[in-house]
Structure 1
Amino acid sequence: MWSSSVIPTFLFLSVFPVGLAPDPGSTTQGNDIYPPFWDQTDGDIAEFPVQNNKIIVDLWKYMDRLRIYKILIRESNKYFASFGKNNTGNVFWALTLLYGRLFETGRFSEPPNSSRCAYESGVSSCISINSAWGGISFYVVIAYFLGAIESEFLGNLPYEVELLPREEYRSNFCYSVEECRAAYPQIMDIANRFYKYLQSRKIVSTTGGIPQYDTDEDTAIFKMWAAHQAAIDVAKPKFSDV
């Protein structure tokens, strides 16, 4: 459907004509650079409901994926503090902005030309399982989220995370660390290497009371990009018919 080089480059950079994301400022009020509903989530794992001692996440809801991105940004920001303010130095920021843009422009709606899951005045919160954009985005977000859980980058979570599956096209997706590890070990290994790199960084100085880590920006981007590419390579063939 698309070449292997075009898809990831577009997914990562299409929001901006240059590689660096613009500084969105300190508030989302009157600022459309933030993803839709950015200020309606704290980026805290505690925001997800808990049932039967499990944290319940529905990756077919826009807000749940957005919370995951915000959690990853919040947990990793300390490693990128010296590269830009207001999240812009974080390697997850451009992907998060693109995720919001895909939602806002209807890429997650039910094809073809259906109003189901379409973004209209900010009403819809679903992501169609029949959307190729939604399916590819699914693999990108699980690579980073499940990799963060498996590598313990998110620390000791109070409960096990349960991703709610959809029976439709069930075999096209994986919904747990164990399931994704068994089906796509290359994704999990590469994502783990990214998080292990961040966890190995040391504090080298303090600026204004904020610790500065010895993160090499190019290395972090390279390792993060490798996980992104691995997820795209797995996802793309699954949606070649749409």
Structure 2
Amino acid sequence: MLRPTVLFLFLACAVSLSRSAVVLENGMPILWAQTAGQVTDLPIQNGIVTPDPWNFLHRMSLYRLMIAATDPFMGSMGTGTGENPMWGLTVQLGWFLTSGRLADPTGATTCGLQTGDTMCVSTQSWWSCVSYLVSALPFLSAAQQGFLGEGVQVQMQVPEGVEDYCTTYADCTTRYPDAMAKWDAYFTGLKTSAESALPENEKKDSILGLYWAAQMASIYSASACNAKMSSYSSPEVTFVNSWLNSAEYVSAANFHSTLEKSSKFSIPLPSRVLQEGDSPPNIADLSQEENHTLSVFSWMKNMNSLLGGSLVRMWRSAMCSATTREKGREMLEQLMLNPSFATSTFLSIISGMTTSC
């Protein structure tokens, strides 16, 4: 349990050869079988659960345990086993790993590199910093709300000398009050929804709304990670900013981040950290799909900037009902996965949807 296998080396080679993101293994997130199946599989010291989120398997375990704990409240999501919206974060974490984004970008250590500990998650990585905010924070909230068992207490491990990460519910609530409050609202909302007499589609929309409000609050807290961007190339920093911008559209549409859909959206993401000189859509060692994704992300970010932020505001305005949010999710899928879907079409549809609200 919690032991990496040679699979990671195979996956890393597959990434370097195929240049497409590897996010699943036998239909499940990468190394899923190696993660903790129950809370007691994690380290426990003096009666306190002490996961090490700087180890990939531990960080992925946080998601596995939260998904298992919340699945009983997910009846409105659908009948499949991959309907829990938190599956999206597991797939995202797998992409972070195989694309090298959890590794130390400073070159000071071999953390996360093939020449070092491949399961190491670097405290210096911007991507792992953001990932911490959408893994450790919800896990601490879930424990506080009783989803992990009666009276379960949690304290995250942190490398010696590292002080810029919160480790307990109280600590994280002090540092990130809005994010923790919204994760609390999400977990308590699951219990409320289970007892609600609302139609299933309305329950689903409500749960997804609470989920994305919490996830975006964590992402907005990523300003605490900004100093770590200095270790990356300008193309990677540009991608970081456009990736953050894309989250505005996904969240406003209450995207149902199932295991299947999240995998489709992750496969076209860049399978390596971008370097100086990389210029989409003409990065030779990335696939056509990856180049397309980078171009779309860049277009959305640049267009929003040119319009003074009004593109995001228009999109949010258009996502005014469960019906338009459903249409929005379909349109995002076309934009990201269908190269023939013109960006001009995207703009005209948004305008039309906005006037219907």
- What secondary structure sits across from 1:163 in the alignment? coil
- What secondary structure sits across from 1:160 in the alignment? coil
Deviation at 1:232, TM superposition (A): 1.1
2:170 equivalent to 1:188: no
Q: Does the 8 Å contact 1:45/1:71 carry over to 2?
A: yes
Aligned length: 205
1:34 aligned partner = 28
Alignment of 1:47-66 (within 5 A): 47-66=41-60
Shift in alpha-carbon separation, 1:146–1:42, aligned structure 2, 3 A: closer
Q: Does the 8 Å contact 1:140/1:231 carry over to 2?
A: yes
Deviation at 1:101, TM superposition (A): 1.2
Deviation at 1:57, TM superposition (A): 1.0
1:216 aligned partner = 203
1:179 aligned partner = 171
Deviation at 1:222, TM superposition (A): 1.1
Deviation at 1:154, TM superposition (A): 2.3
- Residue type matched to 1:52 in 2? N
Pick aligned residue for 1:68 from 45, 59, 62: 62
Q: Does the 8 Å contact 1:69/1:96 carry over to 2?
A: yes
Shift in alpha-carbon separation, 1:86–1:43, aligned structure 2, 3 A: farther
Q: Does the 8 Å contact 2:63/2:90 carry over to 1?
A: yes
- What secondary structure sits across from 2:37 in the alignment? coil
CA distance in 2 between counterparts of 1:85 and 1:228 reads 24
Deviation at 1:117, TM superposition (A): 2.6
Higher relative CO (Cα under 8 Å, sequence separation at least 6) belongs to 1
Alignment of 1:88-127 (within 5 A): 88-112=82-106, 116-118=110-112, 120=114, 124-127=118-121
Q: CA RMSD in A?
A: 2.9
What fraction of aligned residue pairs are identical, expressed as a percent?
26
TM-score, normalisation: structure 1 = 0.74
Shift in alpha-carbon separation, 1:221–1:140, aligned structure 2, 3 A: same
Structure number with bigger Rg = 2
**Can you list the C-alpha shifts for 1:204-240, whole angstroms capped at 9, x where unaligned?**
9xxxxxxxx8872211111111111111111234324
Deviation at 1:111, TM superposition (A): 0.7
Shift in alpha-carbon separation, 1:134–1:202, aligned structure 2, 3 A: closer
Q: Does the 8 Å contact 1:140/1:228 carry over to 2?
A: yes
Deviation at 1:76, TM superposition (A): 1.0
Higher relative strand content: 1
2:184 equivalent to 1:197: no
Higher relative helix content: 2
Q: Does the 8 Å contact 1:139/1:235 carry over to 2?
A: yes
Pick aligned residue for 1:166 from 159, 162, 182: 159
2:141 aligned partner = 147
**Can you list the C-alpha shifts for 1:187-215, whole angstroms capped at 9, x where unaligned?**
111111101110113369xxxxxxxx887
Unaligned stretches of 5+ residues in structure 1: 1-23, 205-212
Q: Does the 8 Å contact 2:145/2:184 carry over to 1?
A: yes
CA distance in 1 between counterparts of 2:179 and 2:136 reads 9
TM-score, normalisation: structure 2 = 0.52
